[in-house]
Amino acid sequence: EAVVGDYRWYETVLEELHTVTLADLERVRATYLQKRTRTVGRYEPDGEAE
């Protein structure tokens, strides 16, 4: 409940996810995933085995 705001969330989440359309995904992608706002990171191991 603290995370999603309603303890009944799990009862409807799958049904709600099935209503997401390709147009919804494209709209979100165009709004939030833009090259000018991206952050690129690179992992370089230090050479020590764990």
Q: Is the pLDDT of residue 40 over 80?
A: yes
Radius of gyration of the chain (CA): 19
* Per-chain mean pLDDT for the chain: 88
Task: Tell me what pLDDT residue 1 has.
Answer: 63
Task: Tell me what pLDDT residue 42 has.
Answer: 93
Q: Is the pLDDT of residue 50 over 70?
A: no
| DSSP SS3 for 1 | coil
47 against 19, higher pLDDT: 19
**What is the rounded CA–CA span in Å between residue 29 and residue 31?**
5
The mean pLDDT of 2-23, rounded to a whole number, is 88
**What is the rounded CA–CA span in Å between residue 19 and residue 25?**
11
Task: Give the position of tokens 């995904």.
Answer: 25
Boundaries of every domain in the chain: 1-34
**Percent of the chain at pLDDT exceeding 90:** 48
